[in-house]
Amino acid sequence: MAYDRNNIFARILRGEIPCVRLYEDGKTLAFMDVMPQADGHALVIPKEEAEDFFALSPEGAAALIATTQRIARAVKKGMNAPGIMVAQLNGAAAGQSVFHVHFHIIPRSAGADFRPHAREMEKPEKLQAFAERIRAALE
């Protein structure tokens, strides 16, 4: 499959679609998932065009992993989460729904169920409140 330059993450990177930003550098962007599976669910994407992990350059992969680790630490601290789930899906058969490589960072607590993925939009003010907590926890 060829990279679709009109996927939602590419459009976010171009500023065509707003997002609640957590962190940005020259190679990556982290922001709140608008259809979260748990409070504080964040996404990390590379600025490089790559539909999945296998299409990403080694340099892009290194930057993506470094930012994912940094954001995961901040989500854990900012959301006071006892655990963090980091997920990365490749291909429709694996459950990937946006074909721009990305990591999900999802706060976890024992016994807490996930909300269904990509089903319900969260209120922007709630996402902003979680983002403030996570940004404050960035080292």
Q: What residue segments make up the domains of the chain, in order of their start?
A: 8-137
**Active-site residue (options: 41, 100, 102, 104):** 102
pLDDT, tens digit, 9 for 90 and up, residues 15-73: 999 999 999 999 999 999 999 999 999 999 999 999 999 999 999 999 999 999 999 99
pTM for this structure? Answer: 0.95
CATH topology of domain 8-137: HIT family, subunit A (3.30.428)
What pLDDT is attached to residue 116? 66
Q: Is 41 assigned a catalytic role?
A: no
- DSSP, residue by residue, the chain: ----TTSHHHHHHTTSS---EEEE-SSEEEEE-SS-SSTT-EEEEESS--SSGGGS-HHHHHHHHHHHHHHHHHHHHHTT-SEEEEE---SGGGT--SSS--EEEEEE-TTPPPPPTTS-PPPHHHHHHHHHHHHHH--
pLDDT, tens digit, 9 for 90 and up, residues 84-114: 999 999 999 999 999 999 999 999 988 777 7
